[in-house]
């Protein structure tokens, strides 16, 4: 590489199209020349560095992936690290929203300070450049100031994120609370409805028990009548007792079926309804068996007839169950 300063023309806002037309050797030659001029002219170095960076960006695009570092070592008069900084400066200066695109703002920056500022976001870099102390700072002091500003900005961003997270969480909790209130109201109404139907079921069961007791009394009265009246009258009494028993069964079945339908619509607990129905049925049957035992003890013949009548009723129920 030549030790003399190479005369290379440069512009701040060069068109990439013009540079694309140049050969790699020419771009390398001009980048080295601009670097030497940058070292010599002081404040203008920033513009030269950006101009050299634009040339290096094109060279890097032309090279296979991963070979730029080797190319820098073999062809440049400066390190790859400086090349990377110049390319970064070229990218930042071409962004009209970047602080580095304002050549007037950056005119008094040395190239070392400009490179140090490249590591900072634009808002931090702007705050540093606008500081009155920047011209008196060393590069080390400038880097420390950039680090402090970046840390402060990170804390502010973290605080903003935390506030946003808290607001979102509050909104979520309020939504959950609102949903929970609605759910509790619906659940309470549902529980009240189930409770009301269960209370109604207990009342109806009590009514069924009263009807069963009346039926048992009627049967007992009929049995007593059988002992003193004619056989025909006894048969009619048995028939009457069976009819009353059948009527009681039918009424109980209707009541339980209605309650089962109402309770099923609210709680869908069919097993509870079925068990209530079976319990009533078993209680009635056990009562009939007790009455039959009393009849048989007093009058075996009459007991046999009553037993036959009960079996006939059960047979009818069995046929209905079989469908």
Residues 195 and 318 in one domain: yes
Specify whether 196 is located in the same domain as 316.
yes
* 8 A C-beta contact, residue 264 and residue 273: yes
Answer whether residue 2 shows pLDDT above 60: no
Residue 48 to residue 39: CA distance in whole angstroms = 9
pLDDT at position 136 is 52
Domain around 243:
191-322
132 in any annotated domain: no
Which one of 117, 146, 174 terminates a domain?
A: 117
Question: At which of 117, 138, 172 does a domain end?
Answer: 117
What are 234-249's pLDDT values in tens digits?
566 567 667 766 776 6
**Among candidate residues 70, 93, 117, the one where a domain is terminated:** 117
Residue 40 has pLDDT above 90, yes or no: no
Domain presence at residue 197: yes
| 179 falls within a domain | no
203 and 313 belong to one structural domain: yes
The answer to whether residue 273 is domain-embedded is yes
| Residue 165, domain member (yes or no) | no
Domain count, the chain: 2
pLDDT of residue 66: 93
Residue 194 near residue 267 (C-beta atoms within 8 A): yes
- The predicted-structure confidence for 264-314, as pLDDT tens digits, reads as follows 665 556 677 677 777 888 888 888 888 888 888 888 888 888 888 888 888
230 in any annotated domain: yes
pTM for this structure?
A: 0.36
**Least trusted range by pLDDT, from 138-142, 156-160, 176-180, 249-253:** 176-180
Residue 213 falls inside a structural domain: yes
Residue 251 lies in a domain: yes
Q: Quickly state the pLDDT bin for 4 (edges 50, 70, 90).
A: very low
pLDDT of residue 234: 56
Question: How many residues are listed for the chain in this entry?
Answer: 323
Chain-wide mean pLDDT for the chain? 72
């Amino acid at each position: 590489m030549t030790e003399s300063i190479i005369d290379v023309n440069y512009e701040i806002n060069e068109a990439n199209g013009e540079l694309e037309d140049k050969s790699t050797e020419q771009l390398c030659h001009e980048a080295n020349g601009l670097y030497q001029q940058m070292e010599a002219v002081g404040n203008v170095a920033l513009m030269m560095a950006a101009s050299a960076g634009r040339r290096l960006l094109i060279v890097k695009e032309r090279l296979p992936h991963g070979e730029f570092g080797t190319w820098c070592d073999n062809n440049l008069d400066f390190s790859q690290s400086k090349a990377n900084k110049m390319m970064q400066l070229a990218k930042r200066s071409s962004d009209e929203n970047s602080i580095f695109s304002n050549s007037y703002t950056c005119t008094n920056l040395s190239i070392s300070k400009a490179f140090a500022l490249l590591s900072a976001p634009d808002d931090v870099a702007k705050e540093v450049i606008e500081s009155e102390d920047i011209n008196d700072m060393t590069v080390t002091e400038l880097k420390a100031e950039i680090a402090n500003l970046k840390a402060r900005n990170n804390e502010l961003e973290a605080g903003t994120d935390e506030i946003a997270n808290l607001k979102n969480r509050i909104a979520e909790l309020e939504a959950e609370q609102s949903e929970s209130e609605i759910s509790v109201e619906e659940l309470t109404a549902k529980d009240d409805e189930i409770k009301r139907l269960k209370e109604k079921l207990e009342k109806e069961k009590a009514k069924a028990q009263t009807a069963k007791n009346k039926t048992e009394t009627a049967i007992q009265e009929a049995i007593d009548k059988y002992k003193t009246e004619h056989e025909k009258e006894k048969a009619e009494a048995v028939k009457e007792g069976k009819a009353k028993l059948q009527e009681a069964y039918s009424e109980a079945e209707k009541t339980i079926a209605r309650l089962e339908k109402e309770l099923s619509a609210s709680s869908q607990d069919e097993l509870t309804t079925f068990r209530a129905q079976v319990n009533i049925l078993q209680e009635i049957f056990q009562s009939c068996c007790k009455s039959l035992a009393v009849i048989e003890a007093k009058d075996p013949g009459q007991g046999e007839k009553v037993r036959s009548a009960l079996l006939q009723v059960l047979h009818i129920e069995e046929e209905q169950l079989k469908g």
